[in-house]
Amino acid sequence: MSLKIENVSKAINGQQILSQVNLDIQTGSIVGLVGRNGAGKTTLMRLIASEMQSDTGDISLDSADLNDIFYLDTLTNWMTGYNASKAAEVFEIFYDKFDRQVFFDILTNQDLSETKTIASFSKGQRVLIEVAAGVASGATYLLFDEPLDGLDVFVKDYFKTLLLEVVEQGRSVMIATHNLAELDSLADRVFLIKDSKIVEQEKDSDIVKIQFVYEGETLPSNLLEVAIILEQRGRVYLALVPHDVLDCIFSDYLTYKFVEILQVTTEDIFRKELG
């Protein structure tokens, strides 16, 4: 089963936000959605959740059941005056597979009261209520916009455990986030929105990250032409370089010292693509 986004384009107020976007999300996976502020991540989620209509293209679900997608645009809009108990009643109307027990178990696990108004919860606690609602909704596809925002490390761990359970059940999660470091440990695939297009990020591409000390005066032009220098402190460099440059670097052991190969992260790719 999969969620298919085919050739989807969307302009808002004359500004092309997304053009010819294609994406196929299989069940049982965690997908990261990244991009600069205003790139179109929320817009894509709204389109998937049918809260907005695309100009062209098609978004389809094998099951053709809108209840199979969970998305809360802004938790604050319609829920803030409600307590969790009342919110659960509303979720039951929207999601016919909504499981109150699962919802309240998550709230109880995190010591969140059923009777306090949602407005009176902290930002991180409100995120948890959204996540609890998503897990309890029974929907196959859960779309979370910045779910890692404001979560402390313990709640983050709990959130990850919940996501893994969801995936074990054969469901899928899409996470739009600026928290790139967290995505590395969570997402099976990461998609980047850039210039209104969406591109899958391949971490194991031909780019490697290296840290080295360069004993010469300035880096040679053959390296500067192909490298992206992420950081420089004195003679210590951190850079992204094409894999095939490594041979030259290792053979020039008099000027390149202490060359260490490091793991390329989503943040590195983000800097490379958008920096």
Burial 89-99 (b: 16+ CB within 10 A, else e): eebbeebeebb
Minimum CB separation of residue 180 from ligand ATP in Å reads 12
Is residue 10 near ligand ATP by the rule CB under 6 A?
A: no
Minimum CB separation of residue 15 from ligand ATP in Å reads 6
**Of the residues 7, 16, 20, 38, which one makes contact with ligand ATP according to CB under 6 A:** 38
Residues 128-157 contacting ligand ATP, CB under 6 A? none
Minimum CB separation of residue 198 from ligand ATP in Å reads 11
Select from 7, 1, 75, 20 the least CA-distant residue to 196. 20
Select from 130, 137, 139 the least CA-distant residue to 159. 130
Distances (CA, A) of 136 to 57, 58, 100, 161: 31, 28, 7, 14
DSSP reduced 3-state for 15: strand
Is residue 40 near ligand ATP by the rule CB under 6 A?
A: yes
Q: Interacting stretch for ligand ATP, rule CB under 6 A, among 30-38, 87-95, 156-164, 206-214?
A: 30-38
The secondary structure element, H or E, covering residue 208 is strand 207-214
Note the Cα 63 to chain centre separation in Å: 24
Q: Interacting stretch for ligand ATP, rule CB under 6 A, among 32-40, 59-67, 218-226, 242-250?
A: 32-40
Is residue 39 near ligand ATP by the rule CB under 6 A?
A: yes
209 neighbors 263 (Cβ within 8 angstroms): yes
Minimum CB separation of residue 37 from ligand ATP in Å reads 3
42 or 137: CB nearest ligand ATP: 42
Minimum CB separation of residue 42 from ligand ATP in Å reads 3
Is residue 126 near ligand ATP by the rule CB under 6 A?
A: no
Residue 83 per-residue DSSP state: B
d(CA 165, CA 158): 11
Alpha carbons within 13 angstroms on the beta-carbon side of residue 222 total: 7
Residues 41-80 contacting ligand ATP, CB under 6 A? 41-43
130 or 239: CB nearest ligand ATP: 130
12 or 261: CB nearest ligand ATP: 12
Given the rule CB under 6 A, which residues bind ligand ATP?
A: 12-13, 17, 35, 37-43
